[in-house]
Amino acid sequence: MKLRLATPGPTEVPQRLLLAGAREIVHHRSAEMEALIDEINAGLPPLFGTGSPVYTIASSGTGAMEAAVANCFSPGEEVLIVSNGYFGERFQAISRAYGLTAHVVESPWGTSISPREVADAHARHPGIRGVLVVYSETSTGALNDVRAIGEIFRDTDAIVVVDAISGLLVHPVEMDAWGLDVVLGASHKGFMLPPGLAFIALSDKAWTAVERSAGPNYYWSFQRLRQFYPMSSSSPAVSLLLGLHESLKMLGEEGLDAFRERHAGLGRAAERALVALGFSTFIQPPHRRSNVITAALAPEGIDTGTLLKTLSVKYGVTVTGGQAHLKGKLLRIGHVGAADALDLCAVFGALEMALLDCGHRFTPGTGTGEIVRTVHEGEN
């Protein structure tokens, strides 16, 4: 049985990138690796919309989130957390673990945070040193307006820290133009690679915060990253860097505009197909939907836990369900990275068969038909 991965991360890794990462290991201080890292370091900043260096570390995305908190703030300082899902809550947990005073701007899961509410919270807490926000909240599929949030804090001393781990590449990120100070990414989303690399870009204002911070750090130290740049401050994940080098080539060949349009088209197709099968769109206007995943509430009588197990065990397809209070209710179909329309047709074909197995009644071909119609409309 062929296995298919349709999650918000990790994503399916194209064979071209798998083969690049399967090359013989080279020493991380060799001339060959130095040349490769130079090309990587030149290729990353335009993807973040910055003229500043982008640092690469061997870590998950959560490691980058923790590194940002550990380096930019001191125990006892106040921060503002923008939270509308699971990963906003993770920023809260990390901040409290480092002894920060966290003020939270919260909205229900499935909604986008209003920038006006963020500005109002800043007025109530003028002493904050930073605001931490998730761009694409993969627990729900909601997209936050980090551009507007960056504008709120551009002329203040507070830095804007953005978890763009899933949103990067799929959606525009213009770090310098939008007034963002720390932007975080990871390898296992739009870069189409296995997990294990994280990316960190910092503005001049962020460096001021780093230099002021009294928080403890060593492996996570941004100062060490800058000291050793352009090389790594510690032993890097060599095989993943070989894959990243090839990933940047693939992204350049497709072009960012085409990459983003492909993801937008897959998002439209998946949403229409789920609605046609009796699901309810989770992100409703005026809230903004991410093109990383499509999230929908299951039809009455369908437990998504059972549906996910049927998809995985019987059909080899892995998709994700709801987290926390949405467990058993929400379905999240990832279409980030190398996914295309034919991949989506295969996923929805399996989904239809699993729904029939679970007792849901509909006309077979309803969902896959919507995929074909939507994609065909977009191409014409």
Q: Which residues pair with 297 in a beta bridge?
A: 280, 330
Distances in whole angstroms, Cα of residue 4 to Cα of each of 7, 129, 149, 262, 316? 9, 43, 37, 19, 6
Residues for the chain: how many in total? 380
Q: Are 320 and 308 in contact (CB under 8 A)?
A: yes
Q: Which of 35, 133, 38 is nearest to 81 (CA)?
A: 133
How far apart are the C-alpha atoms of 68 and 324, rounded to whole Å?
25
How far apart are the C-alpha atoms of 178 and 146, rounded to whole Å?
8
- Is 212 flagged in the annotation as binding? no
What token pair was written down for 86? Answer: 């699971």
Distances in whole angstroms, Cα of residue 251 to Cα of each of 18, 170, 246? 15, 11, 9
Residue by residue, DSSP assigns 144-173 as --HHHHHHHHTTSS-EEEEE-TTTBTTB--
How far apart are the C-alpha atoms of 52 and 26, rounded to whole Å?
27
| Amino acid letter, 311 | L
> In Å, how far from its chain's centre is CA 376?
28
Cβ contacts of residue 133 below 8 Å, gap of 6+? 81, 82, 88, 91, 113, 118, 144, 146, 149, 160, 161, 162, 163
What token pair was written down for 104? Answer: 């939270």
Q: Which residues pair with 134 in a beta bridge?
A: 163
Residue by residue, DSSP assigns 49-68 as T-SS-EEEEES-HHHHHHHH
Binding residues: 332
Q: Which residues are annotated as a binding site for substrate?
A: 332
